[in-house]
Chain A
Amino acid sequence: MILHVSHSPTLADLFADYRRAQGMEDRNAVAERIVATIFSPLSLFISLRRGIDPNKVPDVLMVTLTAIFGAIPVFQGTTHSEAWSYCYRIAFNKAMNAIRKDIANPVITVPDDILWALVEASAADRPFALGEREDIDVLMKRLKVVKPPCVDYLLMHYFVGLSYEQMGDMLDMTTENVGATVRRCLKLARGLGENL
């Protein structure tokens, strides 16, 4: 049995535990912890890919999880960030494959009502601060008018929570370049928002 008692394990720790686990029972136990850690962030990431058919998200998630677990035994990274980058890179490629197949019929994803439903769900545990709801309303209106690819950068960085480094790794860009692009897109969103 592999235990981490001093702190909550990082994703890289969980991958290492998975590789070390002997026997099906131990390995399944670690696998479930990995799924519990990565499922929600990856499903959000895939759902926010522009052009993906929402009906295909569960299938893309399925092939993503299968690919991730298939390659954990040979995963070379040792840090939390490397482990996450590895997962997002696989999810990105699988989502792109699904989008390419649907390219003739691109679907606009994550409408306002869905975003609001997520925000309201979070407010059940963490009530809104004074004025926060109004701020969110303004931000959502701005995001709605930002065109691709800027909106993609903003959603990946702010909503999915990817670091510049992780985005750079996934998109084959330097960290500095990603940072500059996100800042430019943020400025653009503010500029467009002023005309609303």
Chain B
Amino acid sequence: MAEDQSSDDAKLKLLGQRVREGWAKLHAPTAEHLQAVRVIVREQTEREQAVAKKSLQKNG
């Protein structure tokens, strides 16, 4: 019984690996998703630069 369970576990792990590999092949990041991330990166960077500039003005 425990042997069956361990064999099921191993087979499901193999199947899972195939599912993930297949999924990665068929689902690459889209241009829209990359663009959304670039927008966040730009906003974050601009915000940080503004804070740094303010702090520089305050201190000197």
Contact = CB atoms under 8 A, between A and B. Distances in A.
**Chain B interface helix/strand/loop/mixed:** helix
Nearest to A73: B44
Contact of B23 (A44, A66, A187): A44
Contacts of B4: 190
A148 B33 CA distance: 31
Interface stretch (A6-14, A26-34, A166-174): A26-34
B31 to A, nearest CB: 11
Interface in A130-144: 132, 135-136, 139
Contacts of B25: 121-122, 124
A86 B11 CA distance: 28
B26 A117 contact: yes
Nearest to A61: B33
A65 B36 contact: yes
A119 B20 contact: no
B53 interface: no
Given A36-B29, A139-B12, A189-B8, A62 B36 contact: yes
A35 B38 CA distance: 11
A53 to B, nearest CB: 17
A102 interface: no
B22 A118 contact: yes
A161 B20 contact: yes
A61 B19 CA distance: 19
A122 B22 contact: yes
B19 A159 contact: yes
Interface of B: 4-5, 8-9, 11-30, 32-34, 36-38, 40-42, 44-45
26 contacts: A24-B42, A24-B45, A27-B41, A31-B37, A39-B29, A40-B27, A44-B23, A61-B33, A65-B36, A73-B44, A115-B19, A117-B22, A118-B18, A118-B22, A121-B22, A122-B17, A122-B18, A122-B22, A139-B15, A154-B12, A158-B15, A159-B15, A160-B20, A161-B20, A186-B8, A189-B8
